[in-house]
Structure formats: C-alpha cells, structure tokens
Structure 1
Amino acid sequence: MATIDELRKVRMEKLEALKKLGVNPYPSTVRRSHTVKQALTMDGKDVTVAGRVMGIRGHGKIFFLDLADETGRMQTVVKADACVPTAYQVVELLDISDFVSVTGAVGKTQAGEISVFATDLQMLTKTLLPLPDQWHGFKDVEERFRKRYLDMILNPEVRTRFVVRSRIVDAIRDFLTDRGFLEVETPTLQPVYGGGLAKPFVTHHNELETDLYLRISDEMYLKRLIVGGLEKVFEITKVFRNEGVDSDHNPEFTMFEAQIAYQDYTYGMDIIEEIIEYVARQALGKSTFEYQGVVMDVKCPWPRLRMVEAISRYTGVDTLDWKTVEEAKEAIQHMDGIPEEKFTELKKMLSIGECIAFVFEEAVEAKLIQPTIVYDYPIETSPLAKKCDDPRFTQRFEMFAFGSELGNNYTELNDPVDLRKRFIEEKKREKAGVEEVHQTDDDYLEAIEHGFPPTCGIAIGVDRLVMLLTNAKSIKEVVPFPTLRPEK
C-alpha cells in the first residue's frame, strides 16, 4: 500500500499536468446553476452542478463521477465524444476529493440512475491529500474530533447534526424575539467573574495593567440591563469554565440566558418548557424522539418536584429530618450508591443545605430520565436566588433529562442587603476549602442598590439540548471543534 507521501507526490504530478494544459486548478469564479438536490428533479434540462468528487469509475472513453455538495450526491457521466476535449483531459487527472463543476443535461442512464451527462467540466480545486478511508480508515474517535472537517466529509450524519444544531439555535432566538425579547451582547472579558460556580480562565490586559476573566456566565450583565430599564433581554453566547472535560462538559460551551422583569420562577418553569417543546418541534418536527434507546417526550407540562421530594422519592431519605450538619453527614455516609471518594467533598461542607444538594447530585440526578423540573434549592448553594417562604430554600429550579442538567434558573435576588450577606457566606465557604464559590461583585451590588425590579432568570445549556435532540452521547459530538488535549 502506498504511503501518504507517495500518494501526495502523485497528486502533485497531476497538479503540474493540469497547469501544463492551461487549466487553473484553483479558479476564483465557479460555474454553478443548481444544487445537486435541485438537479435531481430536472430530468431533461441543462444544469451546472458543483461539488466534491466522492467516487470515480470507468476508463478509456467514459467516466462516472459521484459528485457531492451540501444538498446531496449525484452521478455525472463524462464521455470523451460528448464533452469538450480539455474537459476530458481534466477528468483523466482527477482524484477522489477534488472539486469540479459539471455542465450538461440531466437524464437517466441505462440502469435508470438520474445523472448529469457532461458537455463541459471545470476544475475547481485539486486536492493534495487523499481522504482517510483511502489509506488507513477514520475510526479513531479522537482523530475524528481533531480533524472534524474529514469527519464531516466521511460521515454525513455528523454534518446533519450540525445543521440541526443551527436550527435549534434559530428556534430559541425566534421563540424569544416573537415574544418581544431583545437580544443583547455582554462582555466576554470581565473584571469579576460571576453568575455561576466555576473556575475561570484568566488573562491579562497589558494597556489597562489588569487581570481579566473569560466569562463563566453572562448573567450579571444581563441583570444590569434590567436595572437600566429593559424588561426582557436574552443572549446566546459562548462561556468558558476552567474545569474537567467529560461527556457533558467542554471548557468552552454555548449558553442561552434570559432575564425577564416582573416575573418569578413559576413563570420561568412554564416558559422553559415552552421553549424546549417549541425547539424540538422546529428542529425535529415533533416533541417525541429517541435518546440512547429511550423514547423521550418534551411536551408540556413536565413533572415538577421540590428537591427534597426528589431525594425522598429516589432514595427514601427525608432530608428535612436532619437537625445538624453532623447528623446529615453521618446519614449520607450510610446511603447506597454514593462513591466513597466523594466523601472528601462532604467533609468541606458547613451546612445542611450543602449536604442536601450533595445527596441530590450524587444519588438522584442520574435517575431523572424523562424531562423533569426540580425546584426549591438550598439557600447555601443558591447565592443569587430569592428565598422561598421556607427560608432554608430558594426560588431556584433546574431541568433535567436523561440524568443531565439542561439549565439553572431562579427568581433573582434583588435585595442588596441580603445579597451582601450571601457574598460574605460564600467567602466563608471558600475559606473552608470549597473551590467553586461566587465572587463578591461590588459593582453589581451598587447597581442593584439603584433598584432591581422583581425578575426571573432562565438559562439553557445549548450543547446539552443539542445532545438530547440529536441522540449524541458526548458533548464532543455536537461541538464542531471541541477542546482536546494537545497531540504529543
């Protein structure tokens, strides 16, 4: 079998041969009148189609080329006595993966296949490297992600998934703008990171002589816009979190977030369900679909459980009976299904609320298969959310599907005095060894002291929603260029 270098050398020789024929192998102007999809419906008419050569058959006086563009794949028939001489000379120098434009009449071959019968052919791009399946295959998953462009060429379902992703983002945007929401932009570089619990990426601005952080959320700036008088704002943007990489996490990911004045989290639950059902219907044409062998349904309304109810249902433990942190930790260490190595995190916890959230994450989340909303989270893990009537809990909810969280939402805490106290508690947690805590944002505190109306904040992790709707097991399958460990 020829090596890559040998195959490239042959293609370089063909490139030089094209130039000697007076053929520009990389022209700027392309002849194209129709897409492949259109041409397939135009029996008896003249067309010019363009695309990548995915198959070459024949020799002597006739060649069959399989031509692929974004819309489909079509056979073209090139006969020596039917096309201009230069065109046939070009065909003899073609390789699979080259780009060409073919002009001719659409008709059927003797085998009945709709084809373009060429009268002329334009060389568009001479490729110097063969597609992977010609020399070693393309089965290594890491290699697929690293060379996504080849993955898309060889696996049409990958390209289809990215098309669906685009429809999903468009559907979110259309749903909101049709209801009077204003799309806005907020800073990527922030002097204080906030709006989530995560480690940031740090950079330095030379002119300003200051460290800045790539945003872990856009939430804090969206809320400043509500203070400024806007009432319904949203952003679909990249956020960055310097944390582990796994099937659900990529350091750079896409987040949708909105802030709605004069609403609370019950409204947020309703509109989140409506958005996701609408998106599914726009992207897939229905609210039901299969994910990893399980039939899912995002049709409204979804089941809703308070966090303590969810824990009780799936573990049999009533966390409201816990009176002290010590009692909570002792009970947790005797629960089934929680890995022992997780108890290291448990030791750092200072409150019953943190213990309740820990149990939910470790013993319940993975069991939430059908779309479900879980609400009323402990105050200790929800520093930006307004309190419930029971002050131990907040008006916060998250939605889950197939054991994965799809977004974090809450009635915003608009009491600046209470929020300052929460920031102080976050500092205590940080000193106790908790790595991911909310930073004190004095500028934001000043902003809401000017008056922040009752507001609901909602969010959806776009990549995870795309995973769900396209049956992707890993976030790397729905991010065109995921973050990967550098090659050695």
Structure 2
Amino acid sequence: MTDWRPSASIETLRKRAAFFTSIRKFFADCGVLEVDTPCLSANTITDVHLEAMVIANGADIDDENVANACLSPLYLQTSPEYYMKRLLAAGSGDIYQLGKCFRHDELGRIHSPEFTMLEWYRVNFTMDDLINEVSALVQALIGLDTETATYQQLFEQQLGINPHEATTGSLLALSKTKGFGEYADRCLRDYGEHQGGIDALLQLLFSTCIEPDIGLEKPIIVSHFPASQAALAKLADDERSALRFELYFQGVELANGYEELINTEQLVQRFNEDNALRKRIGKVPKPIDNEFIAAMRSGLPACSGVALGVDRLFMLVERKHDIASVMPFQLG
C-alpha cells in the first residue's frame, strides 16, 4: 500500500511554522529586508563539491515555441547567493532569504536534494561581526550560547598537527593510522599530490576525526579555514587562512559563511581553478555566470554572508534523528 502521509507529524509542522516565524522576526527586528529570488537560472556554480539539478533542455521538449526558449539547460539553484549578490550590487542593502534550494546530492539522515536554506548578507560587516550575529540568531532560536575555535586550533588539539603546514605525506600517514588509508589513497588518485590532494586529505580528517566530536553540548563556530578552501571568501592578512567560518552543533554542519571576496578578477580566477579541478576528477566544467560577474564588476559592497540549513537546525532542536521527520514530505 502506498504511504501518502506526511513524513513529519502535524504537530511538528506547527512547530516548524513557528520556527520560521521566529527567524523572520529576528531579521525584522534587525532591519534586514526579506527577498525572494528565482529558483531557476540559466547559470549555475562551478564548485567542485556541489552539483546542481538540470531540470529543462530544449531537446527534451516537443512544443517548438517552448523549445526555442529553453535551448540551454536550466538549473535549480543550489543557493540564492548569485542572485542575492546581484541585489546587493544594485543597492539593496542588508538582505535575507528563507526558501528552497536544490542539490544533486544524496538522500539520507541529514541530506535531501530539496531543502530549506536561510541565507543573509550584511553590508559593512566583517567576518567577526557576522559570527556574532549568527551566535545571536542561535541564541534567539534555541537558547544556547555559541563557542568559537579556529580550524588550526581543532587540528592541533585533536590530531596534533598544524593544517596550514601539513604535507601530503604527513596527512597520508595520519589518515592511515586513523584507519582511513584506502580513502586517503583515493583522495590522492582523484586530486593529485599537490594542494588539491592536501585539501582532500584535510577534509577527510576533519569530517571523520573532528566534526563528529565538536559542538556536542553547545554550538561551535569554526573559523579561518585554509586559504585553498576559501571558496568565495576573502583571505586573512596572513594569506594562509580564509575569512570563512562554519557552524556545527552535535557533530552536524549547519552553516557556512564568508567575509565576501569583492575582487572580481580573483573571483574569476577561482572559478577557473574550480573548473580545472572538475575536469581533473572527471566532472563536467561549468560556464561562469556572466551576469553575476557583471554585477560584481559594477561594485559589490563590502559585506559578509552566511547560508544556514534550516531543516538540520530544526531537526536538532526537536531532537529528531533525521530531517525527513521535520519536513512535510520526504522526497522519493
């Protein structure tokens, strides 16, 4: 018999609605504008670790008029980031969005191809300013204070190494002593023995040996990831770390934030590096979003931004085991 019922109870859905209301109240009290950007775009991201869903292509559509309008693929957005930064460049000021995002990702305890994201940007905020605001939001939503640590501190405390000075050989040896030799070898085969391989090994060690044990009692914000893992963040003054942070609670990653890179040429260089790495590991390179680049060139204001997985946070608040139990319906 087909089970048509919601994956969350009606009582949980009422609590979910109240949770959303609390989020909106927080930003209303801060004077941050709510925006609603498109889920569909002709462009997507170059990020090596994320894949967008392709939902339309002219070759698959019979109606000639519709096909002419959809000759290029359309992508469901993995994040509203590019659209929101276009609004910032147009002079929107501080903005937030609470809505659906989509990723061609696994379906599991804390993963769903369709999920709810909270993303916001604060003009003239430094990374530290935004970390303080993330902490204030967490306190408002779940009543807990937030701890902080740097990426380097966690590696030194839990694994006894400085991640900014580690070599491929030292990380490979450490991975093998921790029982992850097979995965470490695969990292090096896929990403090479230079910086790409080092980052893959660092991520392996972080996700297996550090992440499960942090933020167990209180949420923790981890900052200053390696410069090679900067994504779209500015680099710190030491140029070996990035002004990037992540929020964890009970071993679950909840948010990823940056003091935003506003140098357009450096941004394009990072996109090209992404595509080179995608090609190396057998993924299809993605075209750079020219509308986003044009907006950046027009002048993105100095700002910091963060994206937070709302379903995951609400799951932890409700002490549920998986996100399906706090979502109206589980996909699939």
Shift of 1:316: 2.2
2:16 to 138, 147, 165: 165
**Structure 1 residues 190 and 226, CA gap change in structure 2 (3 angstroms):** same
The 5 A counterparts of 1:50-449 are 146-149=3-6, 158-194=9-45, 197-204=49-56, 206-208=67-69, 209-280=71-142, 287=143, 298-299=144-145, 302-322=146-166, 324=167, 326-338=168-180, 340-341=182-183, 343-349=185-191, 350-351=194-195, 352-368=198-214, 369-370=216-217, 371-433=219-281, 435=283, 440-449=288-297
Paired AA for residue 404 in structure 1? V
Is the CA contact 1:194–1:217 (under 8 Å) kept in the aligned structure 2?
Answer: no
Q: Deviations over 1:313-350 (max 9, x none)?
A: 1222332332x4x3244334334153734642343234
What's the counterpart of residue 479 of structure 1?
327
Secondary structure in 1 aligned to 2:299?
A: coil
Change (3 A) 1:386 1:437: farther
Q: How far off is 1:452 after superposition?
A: 1.1
Contact 1:198 1:437 in 2 (8 A): no
Give the secondary structure class of the aligned counterpart of 2:91.
Answer: coil
Deviation at 1:467, TM superposition (A): 0.4
* Cα displacement string for residues 120-159 of structure 1 (whole angstroms, at most 9, x for unaligned residues): xxxxxxxxxxxxxxxxxxxxxxx7xx4325x77xxxxx22
Moved more, 398-407 or 329-338: 329-338
CA contact (8 A) 1:265 1:396 kept: yes
The alignment partner of 1:450 has SS state of helix
Residues 426 and 439 in structure 1, CA contact (< 8 A), matched pair in contact too: no
**Residue 225 of structure 2 aligns to a residue in which SS?**
strand
> How many residues align structurally?
315
Amino acid at match of 1:376: H
Q: Distance in 1 between matches of 2:179 and 2:244?
A: 26
**Secondary structure in 2 aligned to 1:456?**
strand
Mapped to 2, the partners of 1:346 and 1:413 lie a distance apart of 29
SS for the counterpart of 2:37 is: coil
CA distance in 2, matches of 1:182, 1:395: 24
Q: Is the 2:89–2:299 contact (alpha carbons within 8 Å) kept by the matching residues of 1? A: yes
Q: Give, as a single letter, the amino acid of the residue that structure 1 aligns with 2:173.
A: A
Distance in 2 between residues matched to 1:273 and 1:377, nearest whole Å: 19
CA distance in 1, matches of 2:309, 2:50: 15
* Structure 2: stretches of 5+ with no match in the other structure: 58-66
RMSD over equivalenced CA pairs, Å: 2.3
Q: Distance in 2 between matches of 1:236 and 1:230?
A: 17
Contact 1:383 1:423 in 2 (8 A): no
Percent of aligned pairs with the same amino acid = 27
| CA-to-aligned-CA distance 1:172-194 (integer Å, 9 cap, x gap) | 11100121111111111111113
Which structure dedicates a bigger proportion of its chain to strand? 1
Distance in 1, Cα, partners of 2:284 & 2:150:
24
